[in-house]
Amino acid sequence: MSQTVFVGLDLTSSDARPTACVGLDERLDLAFAGFVSRDADLLALVTAEGPRCTAIDAPLTLPRGLCCLEEGCNCCAGSGTGRECERELARLGIPCYFTTKRSIIKGMVYRGVKMRAELEPRGCCVIEVYPYASKVCLWGRPIPPKSKPEGLAFLHDGLARLMPGLRPYVSDFNHDLCDAAIAAYTAYLCHQGRTRRIGNAEEGTIEIPDRQMGGPEVAVETGPGSPW
């Protein structure tokens, strides 16, 4: 089995729904793909594989000034709605869920924050990614909805072109595994210095593919609700 170098996790809001996990080797061939439910098992997987970079599709930090996302707590965000990285995505016309006390992905946020806090002290390089933003940067618009057959076919074709080593396997990927694969590919681009870091280090950043790598420009537009 090839050595895992880049890992992508499409984190869910709770262990009641398994998290899609994809590992890539140095040549971007598939090292593993599957689903893991418990946080402890996700941590054990990443720790055991020892990748150069792990990309997690979930917020990994809270907005500046917040200690939690509980509405009964007096902590208060000091920099506006959500995090700077999320506002920057919105300015690029890329919709996403803002991290606030009214977030509908609160469970995912808590899991992501915990995952980062557990992995980094173990020497793991962890980055936050947003696969929809990666898709827009890599493939331009429009991106068909991933929940529809034509959207899944689009993802299968795009992934096979990005990473030919996935071609024998990608037709069996559902949209969660496709997002995990995009996350892992973004980890590869980050390791290559081919991503753009948006947000700020104090509050949290998201890595997106660099528009100067030959991909399309990201046009500013008003988008609908998040396709996360």
- What tens digit of pLDDT does each residue of 144-179 get? 999 999 999 999 999 999 999 999 999 999 999 999
pLDDT at 225: 37
- Top pLDDT among 159 and 224 is at 159
Q: What is the mean pLDDT of residues 114-129?
A: 97
Q: What is the pLDDT of residue 17?
A: 96
Query: By the 8 A CB rule, do 3 and 26 touch?
Result: yes
**Which domains does the chain possess?**
6-210 (3.30.420.10)
The band of 213, judged by pLDDT with boundaries at 50, 70 and 90, is very low
* Cβ pair 166, 181 in contact under 8 A: yes
Average pLDDT of the segment spanning 41-49: 96
Choose the weakest-confidence range: 27-31, 145-149, 223-227: 223-227
3-state secondary structure of 1: coil
With cut-offs at 50, 70 and 90, classify the pLDDT of residue 78.
confident
The answer on pLDDT for 224 being more than 50 is: no
Please state, for a pLDDT cut of 70, what percent of the chain lies above it: 91
Q: Considering only CA atoms, which of 224, 217, 208, 56 is closest in space to residue 145? A: 224
| pLDDT score of 37 | 97
Residues 6+ apart with CB under 8 A from 3: 25, 26, 31
- pLDDT above 70: residue 212: no
- Residue percentage of the chain with pLDDT more than 90: 88
pLDDT of residue 211: 67
Phi-psi region of 214 (alpha: psi -120 to 50; beta: other; left: phi over 0): left
pLDDT of residue 19: 98
The tens digit of pLDDT for each residue in 94-105 reads 999 999 999 999
Express each pLDDT in 127-138 by its tens digit: 999 999 999 999
Mean pLDDT, rounded, for 58-69:
96
Task: Please report which residue ranges of the chain form alpha helices under DSSP H.
Answer: 39-49, 84-91, 106-119, 131-139, 149-162, 175-191
Specify the pLDDT at position 18.
98
